[in-house]
Structure 1
Amino acid sequence: MTFPQNLTRWLIAALFIAISPLSSWAQAPKSITNVVTTEQVRAELMAYAPDGIDPGKTVWVGLQLAHQPHWHTYWKNSGDSGQPTSLSWTLPTGVLAGDIAWPTPKILPTGNLVTYGFNGTVLLPVPLTITPDFKPSPLSSELEVKLQASWLVCKLECVPQDGEFVLRLPTKSSTALNAGVFEASFQASPKPLAGQSQINIEGQQLKLTVSGLPTTLQGQKLELFPEVTELVDAGAPWTQAWSGAVWTASLPISPHRSDSPTALPVVLVSDVAGQRNGFVTTAPITGSWPANPPPGQAEVAQPQLNPALKPIPAAPAVPTSFWLALFGALLGGLLLNLMPCVFPVLAIKVVGFTRHADDRHGHRMSGLAYSAGVVLSFLALGALMLVLRSAGEQLGWGFQLQSPAVVAALAALFTLIGLNLAGLFEFGQLLPSRLATLQSSNPAVNAFLSGVLAVAIASPCTAPFMGASLGLALALPPLQALLLFAALGVGMALPYLAASWSPALARKLPRPGPWMDTFRRAMAFPMFATVVWLVWVLGQQTGIDGAGALLALLVSLALVIWAFTLRGATRLPVAAVSIAILLTLTWAIGKNVVHFAEPNSTASTSTNSRWQAWAPGKVDELLASGSPVFVDFTAAWCVTCQYNKKTTLANTDLLADLDAKKVVLLRADWTRRDPAITTALAALGRNGVPVYVMYQPGKAPVVLSEILSVADVRGAMVGL
Structure 2
Amino acid sequence: MPHRLLSHFLFALLFIASSASWTGASAQFNPKPGARAGSVVTTPRVRAELVAHAPEGVGPGQPLWLGLQITHQPEWHTYWKNPGDSGLPTELAWTLPAGLTAGDIAWPVPHTIRIGTLANHGYEGTVLLPVPVQVGPDFKAPLAGNGTLDVRLRATWLVCRVECIPEEGEFALQLPVRGSTALHAAAFAQSQADQPLALAGTSQVQVQGERLQLRVHGLPAAARGQTLALFAETPEVLVPAAVSGKDWTQAWDGDAWTADLPLSPQRGDTPERLPLVLALEQRPADRAAPHAWRTVADVNGTWAAAARASVSPALAAALEANQAASPTPAPTSASLGTLLAALAGGLLGGLLLNLMPCVFPVLAIKVLGFAQHGSNRRAQRLAGAAYTGGVVLSFLALGGLLLGLRAAGEQLGWGFQLQSPAVVALLAALFTLIGLNLAGLFEFGQFVPGRLATLQARHPVGDAFLSGVLAVAIASPCTAPFMGASLGFAVAMPGAQALAVFAALGLGMALPYLAASLVPAVVGWLPRPGPWMATFRHAMAFPMFATVVWLVWVLGQQSGIDGAGALLALLVTGCALVWSLTLRGRTRMVIASCLIAGGAWLASAIGQNITKPVERAAQVAVGANSAWHAWSAERTAELMTAGQPVFVDFTAAWCVTCQYNKRTTLTDSSVLADFAERKVALLRADWTRRDPAITAALAQLGRSGVPVYVLYAPGKAPVVLTEILSVAEVRQALAAL
Query: TM-score range with shorter-chain normalisation?
Result: 0.7 to 0.9
Of 88, 94, 99 in structure 2, the residue corresponding to residue 89 of structure 1 is: 94
Q: 1:271-298 deviations in whole A, cap 9, x for unaligned? A: 4656684345679x9xxx99x99xxx95
Q: What is the deviation of 1:81? A: 11
2:425 touches 2:551 (CA, 8 Å); kept in 1?
yes
Instruction: Letter of the 1:22 partner, please give it.
Output: S
Residue of structure 2 in register with 1:444 after alignment: 461
Larger mean CA deviation between 300-309 and 548-557 belongs to 300-309
One-letter code of the match for 2:434? I
Q: 1-side partners of 2:279 and 2:9: how far apart? A: 70
Partner of 1:471: 488
Counterpart of 1:269? Answer: 278
8 Å contact 1:156–1:308 — kept in the other structure? no
Measure, in 1, the Cα distance between the counterparts of 2:20 and 2:232.
46
Work out which of the residue numbers 98, 103, 106 in structure 2 matches 1:101.
106
Counterpart in the other structure of 1:167: 173
Q: Which residue of 1 aligns with 2:131?
A: 126
Q: What's the CA shift string for 1:465-492, capped at 9, x where partnerless?
A: 1122223322322222222211110111
User: Corresponding residue for 2:63?
Assistant: 58
3-state DSSP of counterpart to 1:673? coil
Q: Partner of 1:183 in structure 2?
A: 189
Gaps of 5+ in 1: none
Cα distance, 1:228–1:538 mapped onto 2, change above 3 Å? closer
The SS at the match of 1:717 is: helix
Give 1:413's aligned residue. Answer: 430
Instruction: Name the counterpart of 2:52.
Output: 47
CA contact (8 A) 1:267 1:278 kept: no
Residue 518 of structure 1 is aligned with which of 523, 535, 541?
A: 535
Alpha-carbon distance in 1 for matches of 2:688, 2:114: 32
Paired with 2:13 and 2:378, the residues of 1 have a C-alpha distance of: 30
| 1:22 aligns to 2:19 (yes or no) | yes
Does residue 1:614 correspond to 2:630, yes or no?
A: yes
SS at 2:129 equivalent: strand
Say which SS state the counterpart of residue 269 (structure 1) adopts. strand
Report the alpha carbon displacement of residue 698 of structure 1 after superposing the two structures with TM: 4.6
Between 357-366 and 694-703, the greater mean CA deviation after superposition: 694-703
Alignment of 1:669-688 (within 5 A): 669-688=686-705
Task: Within 5 Å, give how 1:104-115 maps onto structure 2.
Answer: 104=109
Distance 1:527 1:590 in 2: 24
Q: How is 1:579-658 mapped onto 2 (pairs within 5 angstroms)? A: 579-591=592-604, 592-593=606-607, 595-599=610-614, 601-602=617-618, 604-605=620-621, 609-616=625-632, 617-658=634-675
Mapped partners of 1:156, 1:602: distance in 2? 13
How far, CA to CA, are the matches of 2:220 and 2:582 in structure 1? 90
Cα separation, partners in 2 of 1:522 and 1:476, compared to 1, 3 Å: same
The answer to whether structure 1 residue 574 and structure 2 residue 587 are counterparts is: yes
Which residue of structure 1 aligns with residue 349 of structure 2?
332
- Deviations, residues 383-408 of structure 1 (Å, cap 9, x unaligned): 22233333443322222222333223
Deviation at 1:589, TM superposition (A): 2.0
Q: In the superposition, relative to structure 1, how do residues 671 and 593 fare at CA in structure 2: closer, same or farther (>3 Å)? A: farther
**Correspondence 1:225-374 to 2 at 5 A:** 245=255, 256=269, 269=278, 271=280, 273=282, 277-280=291-294, 313-314=321-322, 321-374=338-391
1:141 Cα deviation after fit: 4.6
1:11 to 8, 15, 29: 8
- Shift of the 333–664 alpha-carbon distance from structure 1 to 2, 3 Å rule, reads same
**Compared with structure 1, are the counterparts of its residues 308 and 51 closer, same or farther at alpha carbon in structure 2 (3 Å cutoff)?**
farther
Q: Show the counterpart of 2:472.
A: 455
Structure 2 distance, partners of 1:301, 1:545, is 50
Letter in 1 for 2:9: I
Shift of 1:188: 2.9
What is the DSSP-based 3-state SS (H/G/I as helix, E as strand, rest coil) of the residue aligned with 1:665? strand
520, 524, 542: which one aligns with 1:507: 524
| Secondary structure of 1:372's aligned partner | helix
Distance 2:224 2:445 in 1: 91
AA at the equivalent of 2:554: V
Output the TM-score relative to the length of structure 1.
0.80
Identity %: 54
How far is 1:521 from its partner? Answer: 2.2
- State the shift of 1:217 in Å: 5.2
Cα 1:370–1:118 change in 2 (3 A) is same
Asked whether the 8 Å contact 1:537–1:637 carries over to 2, the reply is yes
- Matched-pair contact (CA < 8 Å) for 1:89–1:148: yes
How far does the alpha carbon of each residue in 1:338-384 deviate from its partner, in whole angstroms, 9 at most, with x for none?
Answer: 10111111111111222334222222222111111111111111222
Amino acid at match of 2:190: A
CA distance 1:131–1:706, change in 2 (3 Å): closer
Cα–Cα, structure 1 residues 282 and 602, in superposed 2: closer, same or farther, change >3 Å? closer
* TM-score, length basis structure 2: 0.78
Distance 1:679 1:659, change over 3 A: same
Check the 8 A contact 2:326/2:699 in 1, yes or no. Answer: no
Report Cα offsets for 1:606-657 as digits up to 9, x if no partner.
7683154524333334444554433333222222222222222333343344
**Cα gap change, 1:298/1:443 in structure 2, threshold over 3 Å: closer, same or farther?**
same
Larger Rg: 1
How far residue 672 of structure 1 moved from its aligned partner, in angstroms, is 2.5
Determine the C-alpha separation between the residues in 2 that align with 1:472 and 1:486.
14
Query: Is the 8 Å Cα contact of residues 86 and 151 (structure 1) preserved in structure 2?
Result: yes
The Cα shift of 1:12 comes to 2.5
Residue 139 (structure 1) aligned with residue 145 (structure 2): yes
SS at the partner of 2:3? helix
Change (3 A) 1:246 1:407: closer
In structure 2, the CA distance between the partners of 1:614 and 1:487, relative to structure 1 (3 Å rule), is same
Distance in 2 of aligned mates of 1:26 and 1:214: 50
Find the residue that maps to 1:58 and give its secondary structure.
Answer: coil
- Structure 1 residue 458: Cα displacement: 0.7
Q: What SS does the aligned partner of 1:373 have? A: helix
2:331 paired residue number: none
Q: Would you say the 8 A contact 2:55–2:63 is kept in 1?
A: no
Question: Which residue identity does 2:292 align to in structure 1?
Answer: G
Q: 1:359 to 1:106 in 2, by over 3 A?
A: same
Aligned counterparts of 1:554 and 1:211: Cα–Cα separation in 2: 70
Aligned to 2:707: 690
The count of corresponding residues between Structure 1 and Structure 2 is: 698
d(CA) in 1 for partners of 2:24, 2:167: 19
Is 1:497 aligned with 2:511? Answer: no
Residues 407, 538 of structure 1: 8 Å contact kept: yes
Structure 1 residues 317 and 651: alpha-carbon distance in aligned structure 2, compared to 1, 3 A threshold: farther
Q: CA deviation at 1:327?
A: 1.7
Mean Cα deviation higher: 138-147 or 708-717: 138-147
* 1:79–1:322 CA distance, 2 compared to 1 (3 A): farther
- Cα separation, partners in 2 of 1:36 and 1:472, compared to 1, 3 Å: farther
Structure 2: which amino acid aligns with 1:671?
A: T
Aligned with residue 702 of structure 1, among 688, 706, 719 = 719
* Deviation (angstroms), 1:103: 3.8
Deviations 1:207-261 (A, max 9, x none): 99976543455677877878899999999999999776577999999983687xx
Structure 2 runs not aligned, ≥5 long: 32-36, 285-289, 328-333
Aligned-pair CA distance for 1:45: 3.6
**Residue pair 1:317, 1:465 contacting (<8 A) in 2 also:** no
